[in-house]
Chain A
């Protein structure tokens, strides 16, 4: 899932302090799971903003709440078509994708981010999310025991660990696992150490961000 973290309230207040009618817009998908932008967080942020405006004596500011199934699909974003125009600002607490798509769709309304979008990751435990994928566009997990050296090795190495690997940890942080140690442990566990002996060709990074914004186009599913 896409992992996001809450923005400091002070930063959000700075965006909307001069607005009269604000919509806090949440998303029911990834940001709900990582507890940064779901229905509950919409409630907390909207209540916080309402209390802020009351404390400031600006009694007539209206802060409304809405949570969409997704903010990255036309059909769900259309659900606020009939109400969007009445707002001076939308604070979207979806991931960066949702925030941008909302801004694209409602061209004349300022859309502000309520979260910092961080990475593609997993919930290791409640309140702890870690990165697993960098969406490089050319998956090599079949050869690395299902552990990605692009996302998890600080140097993105493809042919074994560097000299900084010590006792299974990375030199940049003693708490960070060395990705190649994990890969070797896993290859041993599945009895595929032959894959470790195989040299990787130079990776084609044109599918990564180096080639600019990317797109996936599939005619077979297009209508």
Chain B
């Protein structure tokens, strides 16, 4: 399809979004990622039945944690799409990229760059 999506995206493949834990998302943010986006299968179409619902709850948990420490909860987001829907993936990636650019760099990342 040769679709274009932002180069800022780093894709980490997991067997199911149910594998993604709060710890993984926090670690990414702590290590300097400007945002974390979990993209799971359509709701009701999880091969493992509830993996994507679990992921959504965990993303919401991360959003609550971010809010409680004064960071923007929008840095963590969850999307659902079918694995064959490339154009939608590109659209969501663009959306996430635009939102994160609006929020600016992750404060943790800024600290590390200035320290280097």
Contact = CB atoms under 8 A, between A and B. Distances in A.
B81 interface: no
Contacts, number: 47
A55 interface: yes
Interface stretch (B3-11, B66-74, B91-99): B66-74
Given A50-B30, A51-B30, A44 B23 contact: yes
A93 B30 CA distance: 21
Interface residues of B, number: 17
Chain A, interface SS category: helix
A104 interface: no
Interface in A1-33: 8-10, 13
A104 B26 CA distance: 33
Contact of A54 (B22, B26, B66, B107): B107
Interface of A: 8-10, 13, 40, 43-44, 47-48, 50-52, 54-57, 59
Given A47-B30, A50-B30, A55-B71, 15 more contacts: A9-B68, A10-B68, A40-B23, A44-B22, A44-B65, A47-B23, A48-B26, A48-B68, A51-B26, A51-B71, A51-B108, A54-B107, A55-B69, A56-B70, A59-B111
